[in-house]
Structure 1
Amino acid sequence: MQKQQHILTDNWGRQMDYLRIAITDRCNLRCFYCMPEEGIHYLPKKELLTYEEILRLTQIFSSLGVKKVRITGGEPFIRKDLMHLLKGIKAIEGIESLNITTNGVLTESFIPEMKELGINHVNLSLDSLDPENFFRITRRNEYQKVMSTLDALLSHGIHTKINMVVMNGKNEGEIISMAELARHKNIEVRFIEEMPFNGSETQQSKIWSAPQILETLRSHYPNLTAIQGDPHAPATQYTSPELNGSIGIIAAYSRSFCHGCNRIRLTATGTIKNCLYDNGVLDLKELMRSGTSDDQIKETLISTVKKKEKDGIIAEANRQNDAGITESMSTIGG
């Protein structure tokens, strides 16, 4: 097997070997920090990348040194025949790790097949362990389905991370109870600063910062200590003698982890985002559908990644023709 070369390198020397692919903008929850209660205007299916287009692009990215892929949405399990796509990606030479982010509502029945396929790990979105508060946050009564998915993931031995967005006045009182999941389970519970991608004009309330989250955790786990993890990971990881698993904190709003960024985002409509906070830098769908060759796409990707901003603060400041962030996280894949 020919060894991959890291060809996608930005002007800051960072090598992009991680591709996040949003396969749909649709979601079966209505989490208020992600979209308005009435939902968002979903795009016609013809505007979304086909599975064949996604596989073609993944093959191109693999040839440029990408070795890790994460499937996101919206909610990826809403899209039909998802397992067909996953099998196709697993078959691409050079892709070493295939992962999924899901809200867990529709996931449980697919878990045995995911295990057999070799899905490396799953990020499960879970913002509350109180069924009533779960409903208030998601605007849907699906708590039991999510918890059943969590149990099934663990019983099948699939490495699982819990993602909890910490929201002022909504669920900050559950930080400790959520962390306690890692006491008896070998999982990583990750606490994420709230971001402004809620599908409407954002008025930022008091953000629960990473230091605040850490202070709260240390009030309960005084021996909590940082551990050396993946230098490219957005989460700072911690462990404690009381925990079987670990705890992570993601400074998604304050963006203190950008120096180690190794990821590119592909939206469901085929737009490349060098950064979560830019508003799109390249339309790959248009290139493909206009007959552009793979080699031409590769050259365009190489030059596009070179323009990646140093961090998310600069990327947000340089958004083109956009007075502010008004898109939904559901449309960009997180």
Structure 2
Amino acid sequence: MQSLTDRFGRVHNYLRISVTDRCNLRCLYCMPEEGVQFTDASNLLSYDDITEVVRTAAGLGITKLRITGGEPLVRPGLDGLIRQMSSIPGISDISLTTNGLLLAKQADALRDAGLNRVNISLDTLDSARFRFIARRGELRRVMEGIEAAGRAGFDPIKLNCVLLRGVNEDEIGSFLQMAMEQPLHIRFIEYMPIGHADDNWRNHYLPLARVLEVADSMGLQYRNRDDMRGNGPSDDYELIGGKGSFGLIHPISDEFCKRCNRLRLTADGYLKPCLYWMDELNVKPALGSSEAMEAMFRKAMDLKPASHEMAAKLADSALSHIPTERRMSQIGG
């Protein structure tokens, strides 16, 4: 088997799969308050379609899958899809990114179906601020989802916190203290300009060097760790004397494209070589033919650029490609 290797020698073993572009939140950094034009259900890939794509991908060396959205748990029967994919030879790890609102009721079924890990979005520990950032929903339900994930046996449980200057940067210390006291992995993420490189992004973008500054000011001791399961682009740190850990995902201030190993499949059936650029391939015409689907994956490797150039966008420098107009929720985070 010839692995999925792009023009720059990067071997790809990771596929992120969006199952819906719908979401029950409207987070500041992801979607406008009025929402976006959602894909009609008839134009979404069916679970059988997704399983077919994954079967071909597994034959090309894809071993890791992540289910995303939108909010993936708003699509009914997700445990059935996970059960189908977990039975495919070569697939060794399936994870889920969720906002947690619907997780408490589904955690056990997802675990039983073969889901290995969960990442839960949590940008604030304050209820009122949660409503400001997410524009709807309740923090209490997210915390219940985190607790349910622990009871179901998911390990590690990762919390994704997008840092926004002037909005939640004052909570960095609270999140670090949370990681000291609980066996959770807090991942701080830089605000990315996916589909909207506007003044809102520029004004709220915060380099993650700030996290280490806060950790130092708190007198916390930490050291690099490289054993975090599914760490992807995260630079991870063990908190000495603490129960948990933290990580930094900084695509702009410390670009990690040189070690990118991932492709993305959108809910409406497009294979994206890079999150930021417009390039994408419609897989629907290839359904029913493993040879055509394999060719689609090979073409994605040929299209994959060296980097996403988000830092150049921040600096108003010229870009080598055309950025996507899709929002994060329409691609899959």
TM-score normalised to the size of structure 1?
A: 0.91
In structure 2, the CA distance between the partners of 1:50 and 1:88, relative to structure 1 (3 Å rule), is same
Matches for 1:272-291 after TM superposition, within 5 Å = 272-288=271-287
Cα offsets for 1:217-276 (capped at 9, x unmatched): 222244222222469721100122232111101003335211111111111111111111
- Deviation of the 1:117 alpha carbon: 2.7
Q: Would you say the 8 A contact 1:265–1:276 is kept in 2?
A: yes
Give the distance between the partners of 1:326 and 1:214, measured in 2 at CA. 33
Q: Would you say the 8 A contact 1:70–1:98 is kept in 2?
A: yes
In structure 2, the CA distance between the partners of 1:71 and 1:85, relative to structure 1 (3 Å rule), is same
Which one of 319, 322, 333 corresponds to residue 321 of structure 2?
319
Counterpart of 1:301? 297
Do structure 1's residue 184 and structure 2's residue 181 form an aligned pair?
yes
Q: Would you say the 8 A contact 1:255–1:312 is kept in 2?
A: no
Q: Would you say the 8 A contact 1:19–1:69 is kept in 2?
A: yes
Give the distance between the partners of 2:21 and 2:114, measured in 1 at CA. 25
In structure 2, the CA distance between the partners of 1:6 and 1:110, relative to structure 1 (3 Å rule), is farther
Q: How many residues align?
A: 323
Do structure 1's residue 82 and structure 2's residue 78 form an aligned pair?
yes
Stretch moving more, 298-307 or 47-56 = 298-307
Counterpart of 2:48? 52
Unaligned runs of 5+ in 1: none
Q: Give the partner amino acid of 1:128.
A: T
Give the distance between the partners of 2:305 and 2:231, measured in 1 at CA. 16
In structure 2, the CA distance between the partners of 1:277 and 1:229, relative to structure 1 (3 Å rule), is farther
Give the distance between the partners of 2:324 and 2:44, measured in 1 at CA. 22
Q: Would you say the 8 A contact 1:36–1:200 is kept in 2?
A: no
Q: Would you say the 8 A contact 2:272–2:300 is kept in 1?
A: no
Do structure 1's residue 64 and structure 2's residue 60 form an aligned pair?
yes
Which one of 130, 147, 150 corresponds to residue 134 of structure 1?
130
Which one of 209, 212, 216 corresponds to residue 210 of structure 2?
212
Q: Give the partner amino acid of 2:255.
A: S
- Deviation of the 1:206 alpha carbon: 4.7
Counterpart of 1:194? 191
Identity %: 37
Give the distance between the partners of 2:114 and 2:26, measured in 1 at CA. 30
Aligned with 1:52: secondary structure?
helix
Counterpart of 2:102? 106
Counterpart of 2:5? 9
Aligned with 1:162: secondary structure?
strand
Give the distance between the partners of 1:228 and 1:111, measured in 2 at CA. 27
Give the distance between the partners of 1:232 and 1:185, measured in 2 at CA. 19
- Deviation of the 1:132 alpha carbon: 0.4
Q: Would you say the 8 A contact 1:202–1:325 is kept in 2?
A: no
In structure 2, the CA distance between the partners of 1:104 and 1:206, relative to structure 1 (3 Å rule), is closer
CA RMSD of aligned residues (A): 2.0
Q: Would you say the 8 A contact 1:32–1:138 is kept in 2?
A: yes
Give the distance between the partners of 1:75 and 1:270, measured in 2 at CA. 17
Counterpart of 1:261? 260
Aligned with 1:176: secondary structure?
helix
Q: Would you say the 8 A contact 1:32–1:137 is kept in 2?
A: yes
In structure 2, the CA distance between the partners of 1:41 and 1:268, relative to structure 1 (3 Å rule), is same
In structure 2, the CA distance between the partners of 1:255 and 1:332, relative to structure 1 (3 Å rule), is farther
In structure 2, the CA distance between the partners of 1:285 and 1:125, relative to structure 1 (3 Å rule), is same
Q: Would you say the 8 A contact 1:234–1:257 is kept in 2?
A: yes
Give the distance between the partners of 1:12 and 1:201, measured in 2 at CA. 27
Counterpart of 2:316? none
Unaligned runs of 5+ in 2: 314-318
TM-score normalised to the size of structure 2?
A: 0.91
Stretch moving more, 204-213 or 245-254 = 204-213
In structure 2, the CA distance between the partners of 1:67 and 1:161, relative to structure 1 (3 Å rule), is same
- Deviation of the 1:298 alpha carbon: 0.5
